[in-house]
Amino acid sequence: MPARDIYHNNVKNALIKDGWTITHDPLRLSFGGKDMYVDLGAERFIGAERNDQQIAVEIKSFIGDSAIDDLEKAIGQYILYNTILEEKEPNRILYLAVSEYVIQEIFEEPLGKLLLKNKLLKIIGFNPEVEEIVKWII
């Protein structure tokens, strides 16, 4: 099992506050004899006429020496997990969870805006102090 991100419990609590039920901690993905682990799997019942929403959440703290290096690793992991989820669990949507500080410092800057414009990532922004979701970027 991989090590948990420093914000793991903050994001888990924020999702629960937002009405999500944590179904997997972590969510195991297997493909071609290889096992990988997305930090969280969650679902939320959205009404009698529609099914549950299912998401997978990969949490990244961006506390390394280089924000670009952290971004490159996060994107690579996101693409890998998303590709497998599309094959194995096509109804589950993958999100990258980052603090609101990371949203401001990376995703509201030109490079981050380009990634979001090209719909490369889906983002959950959270406030780690109050453990709340502050932004969904889809």
Most confident of 2-6, 46-50, 76-80: 76-80
- Cα 38 from Cα 18, distance rounded (Å): 20
Q: Is the pLDDT of residue 50 over 60?
A: no
3-class DSSP assignment, residue 12: helix
Q: Which contiguous run of DSSP H or E holds residue 115? A: helix 110-117
58: left (phi over 0), alpha (psi -120 to 50) or beta: beta
Task: Provide the pLDDT for residue 53.
Answer: 92
As a whole number, mean pLDDT of residues 20-45 equals: 96
